[in-house]
Amino acid sequence: MSWPQAPELARPRVLRQRWLDLSFIHWAVEPARVAQYFPAGTRPDTFEGRTYVGLVPFRMVMFRSFLETNVRLYSVDATGRRGVVFLSLDTNWLPLVAGSRSTLGIPYRWARMQHNQDGGWHTYTSTLRWPRIKASSTIETQVGDRIELGPLEHFLTARWGLHLSKAGRTWYMPNEHPPWVLHRAELMTFEDHGLLASVGLGDLGSRPPDHVAFSTGVPARFGLPRGPVLR
């Protein structure tokens, strides 16, 4: 089980970010449905026998402010390290796309994006600007009261690293951040025109999500990638 408090991040600490105005949208799925997308040496992490697909639109601050929408899975390796595996990360800051793909193999894609807030109503729109892939989405969430985090919320959000593939090997890049403060949220609109299909999950959005939450955000730090992860 993931825990809400991050383990101490070893030095050197190579990257600082702020994640802001995040909507967490999750569907529970059978592990076998997504097992093919996990890097070598990792497998789907499970909660009560099921794993989850996360769709997370948000704002990020790293050198400057920009937008991101990621589709992610939940992983564990043979040493017990739990993390995330990104199927896609769409952003409107082009230099991040080139730098992350070339240095770390993280699947960033360039998109035209907007985020608007009206009280507790958040609207995120995205249109992919990527060769040979057409995808766009509109996501609207209505934010409610703060919630007490339970085991499922910790499983979904207390993730202290990411598993990534680079040069034919799997690596683990650790991070740390304060425990999340989450609010109830309702998914008011989800117009998916190819976003989930672009990562092999085309019919997932045809049913309502199993869990929706919102956070105003946390600061985060990353350490150097560790590995390679053994098969």
Mean pLDDT of the chain: 94
Please tell me the predicted confidence (pLDDT) of residue 231.
62
- Asked if residue 228 has a cis previous peptide bond (ω within 30° of 0), the answer is yes
Confidence of residue 228 (pLDDT cuts 50, 70, 90): confident
**Tokens 């057409």 belong to residue:** 134
In angstroms, rounded to a whole number, what is the distance separating the alpha carbons of residues 202 and 192?
Answer: 9
User: Is residue 4 a contact partner of residue 173, using CB atoms and an 8 Å limit?
Assistant: no
| Cis, bond preceding 12 (omega within 30 deg of 0) | yes
Confidence check: pLDDT of 216 > 70 = yes
Contact (CB, 8 A) for 2 and 76 = no
153-170 b/e with 16+ CB inside 10 Å = b?
A: bbbbbbbbbbbbbbeebb
How far CA 34 is from CA of 160, 175, 185, 224, in Å, comes to: 21, 24, 26, 27
Q: Is the pLDDT at 1 greater than 60, yes or no?
A: no
CB-CB contact of 74 with 156 (8 Å): yes
pLDDT at 8: 87
Please tell me the number of Cα atoms within 13 Å of 207 on its side-chain side.
11
Summarised one tens digit per residue, pLDDT across range 173-209 is 999 999 999 999 999 999 999 999 999 999 999 999 9
Question: Strand 51-62 relative to strand 13-29: parallel, antiparallel, unpaired?
Answer: antiparallel
113-160, pLDDT tens digit by residue? 999 999 999 999 999 999 999 999 999 999 999 999 999 999 999 999
Decide if pLDDT at 3 tops 70.
no
- What are the chain's domains? 13-223 (2.40.400.10)
Residue 145 parent element (H or E) = strand 136-146
What's the pLDDT tens digit per position in 33-69? 999 999 999 999 999 999 999 999 999 999 999 999 9
Compute, in degrees rounded to 10, the torsion defined by CA atoms 177, 181, 186, 191.
-20
Neighbours of 147 (CB within 10 A): 14
Distance between CA atoms of 51 and 67, rounded to whole angstroms? Answer: 26
Q: How far apart are CA 41 and CA 227, in angstroms?
A: 11
